[in-house]
Amino acid sequence: MDIEGRNALPDAWKVQLSQFTTIVMWTGLAVMMFGDSIFQTLNMPPPELYLQAKQNQMIVITSIWFFGSSVSQNLLKTGAFEIYLDGNLVWSKLAVDRLPTWPELVTVLEGQGGVA
C-alpha cells in the first residue's frame, strides 16, 4: 500500500503574477527606504506621491509589506487536499470542496482495499 502526499502546483499565470507582485513590493520598499538617494542620483525631483508617502513612512512600508505578501501568498494557494492510494486518486478536496470526515476517509480507503 502506497499513500502519497505532495504540494499541488498553482497555475503558471498565478506563479508569474505572484513573482511580479513580489518584485513590485520590493521595489516599493526600496523606494521608501532609499528614495531620497535614488532621486538625487537620477537628478530629478521626488514625485509628490513619494513626498506624501514619506510623511508616513512606517505606515506605508508596513502596508506595502503586508499587502504585497498577502497577495503573493494568496495567488500561490491552491486549497488542494488530495489522497492517492497506489497511484489512484481516492479523495479530492478540489472536486468536492471540503475535507473528508474520518468515517468517509475510512470508507473510501476500505473501498480501495487500503484498510483491513
**Residue 80 or 25, more confident:** 25
pLDDT at 112 over 80: no
- pLDDT tens for residues 33-89? 999 999 999 999 999 999 999 999 999 999 999 999 999 999 999 888 888 887 788
- Exposure string over 82-108, b if 16+ CB within 10 A, otherwise e: bbebeeeebbebeeeeeebeeeebeeb
Give me the pLDDT at residue 5, please: 67
The set of cell numbers assigned to 44 is 530629478
- pLDDT tens for residues 92-111? 888 888 988 999 888 888 88
- Please tell me the pTM assigned to this model: 0.72
